[in-house]
Amino acid sequence: MTRNSRIWWLVGFLIALVGVGFPYWRAPSAMTALPGALYGPGLAALVVVAMMLRAFGTGRFLPLLLLVAAAAPTAVLLRMLVGDSAGMPVSWPRELLIASAIGLAASLAGTLIGSLFLLRSSRRPQ
């Protein structure tokens, strides 16, 4: 596996998804109000994964930003589909929008930090 292999994108997305999703999925329904439910170590996982993927030169800025940012709304969507609540909440578009904004902000921070590391490296992506 080379650093340009897309398998790193899949691994990074799954790590970010589990990192942000696991605390959110385990929380009781009364504690899952967004955006507060996503704050914490899960959000730090998004930042770290985005930083690592970008710093190691696995891809360009925008695709990595969007890939890692998609982990937060995916975690919320999985909770809605498989969760213990009865069906989808009435405000599901609002919840997905909030999770997308939080994911984008965390991913942007990590991707920017990773880009700074990449500037000092010889591993720039093609």
52-65 pLDDT per residue, tens: 999 988 889 999 99
Which long-range contacts does 111-114 make (Cβ < 8 Å, 24+ apart)? 111/50, 111/51, 111/53, 111/54, 111/61, 111/64, 111/65, 111/68, 113/47, 113/51, 113/54, 113/55, 114/50, 114/51, 114/52, 114/53, 114/54, 114/55, 114/64
8-27 pLDDT per residue, tens: 999 999 999 999 988 887 87
The pLDDT, as a whole number, for residue 125 is 60
103-124 pLDDT per residue, tens: 999 999 999 999 999 888 766 6
pTM: predicted TM-score of the whole model, two decimal places: 0.85
